[in-house]
Structures are given as C-alpha cells and as structure tokens.
A and B are shown apart, each in its own frame.
Chain A
C-alpha cells in the first residue's frame, strides 16, 4: 500500500521569507512524487514531479522540491514566499505502472504581507 503524510496542517510565513511544506511517503519500489496547489474554490494545479534523476526538482511559480530517499521525504520549498502563494498544497505519490495517485491531507499555507 502507498501513503503520504503531510505533518503540518498549516504553515504561516512572512512575505519574503523561505517557505517549506513537508511531505513523507511510503510506497513499494521507486516512488513517483508530485506536488499540487489548490487556490480557493478551484481545482488542483500541478506544480512539479519527481520520477527519476536529480534529487532537486524545479517546478512552476519558483517552487522546488527535494527528494530524499533515505528519509522518504519530498519537501516543497520556495526561497522567497509571496502573498499570492497562499493556498492549499497537496503532496501525492504513485508506484510505477499504476494509474492511481495517493494524496496527502493537504497543508494550508498563509503568507502574510
């Protein structure tokens, strides 16, 4: 079975400060990992993914994530947060050769001006 944990329900940061949203996973075999963002009353939007290769993955809107196999983590980061980054962020994992993703419970990010 595969699963994802997002240990923080909420993350609050000041604009201009670094932003980190944590994610740990459990999956058999090599993981395929994703981050999605959801703005109020909207569907989810893809941010970035890790399939293979470099452990540091760069995505949309200046976000990046680091895959750490030994810690089974895939934390989302942004060096300098913007107020417009305030949203709900979801981590997701899927095993190879499978059509299904498992999503975490989500982390609400609030960036204050």
Chain B
C-alpha cells in the first residue's frame, strides 16, 4: 500500500542522546515535511524539503536537522535530545507545494526524552 512509513513508532530516549527518526514515502512526491504535535499547540512545522537535495527551516527548527539525499527519504535528527523535544512527530509529503495540494501523513513517532 502506497504511503508514508515512519520509524520507530515509539521511543524513550535519555537526554543528550542522538536520535534519528526515519521517514520513507513511495508516492514519488516532491515535497516532504516534519511536524511535531503537542497538546494545545497543534502541529508545528520543523523542517521541510520542496525537492530532493533542498531543505528549509520551518517554525521550530532549533535542535533538529534534516537531509534529503533522494526523493523517498527524509530523516529527522535530534543531535542532542532535550526533554522539551518530547512530542509526537509526523512526517508528511505532497505532490506539489503544501498550500495547493493534499498533505499525506505518516502514522507518527512518539518520542519521550527523559
């Protein structure tokens, strides 16, 4: 079934550790995004990529990095995790810019930083 696959589904992590959340899509979409979801705050954009080889900063990029080596993969890395990065992380993709096309979301990765 076509879509977005995120891994891991859930992770508990000690503060200061490095963590990479994986995201793979098989729809050949140009654009990919990482959002974090926090209660009362909705979804906030962390980083985005409008095509392979390019990335951009979203609303809350500090403490996170991304890469887009190819069309399908868009990993999110926390270089040194802090408790405030405890959240549910969603990867999404779209054929065209997000504001003209539908976003397709993964099932999410729940991260707890202790």
Contact = CB atoms under 8 A, between A and B. Distances in A.
B44 interface: yes
B50 interface: yes
A103 B37 CA distance: 10
Contact of B100 (A36, A42, A46, A51): A51
Interface residues of B, number: 28
A45 interface: yes
B53 interface: no
Contacts of B33: 99-100
A52 to B, nearest CB: 10
Contacts of B100: 32, 51
B99 A43 contact: no
A67 to B, nearest CB: 14
A100 B60 CA distance: 12
10 contacts: A43-B107, A43-B108, A44-B43, A46-B103, A90-B42, A90-B43, A99-B48, A99-B50, A101-B98, A102-B59
B109 to A, nearest CB: 10
Contacts of B92: 43-44
A90 B56 CA distance: 23
A98 interface: yes
A70 B13 CA distance: 48
B99 A45 contact: no
A35 to B, nearest CB: 11
B66 interface: no
B17 to A, nearest CB: 25
Interface string B86-114: 00001010000111101111111000000
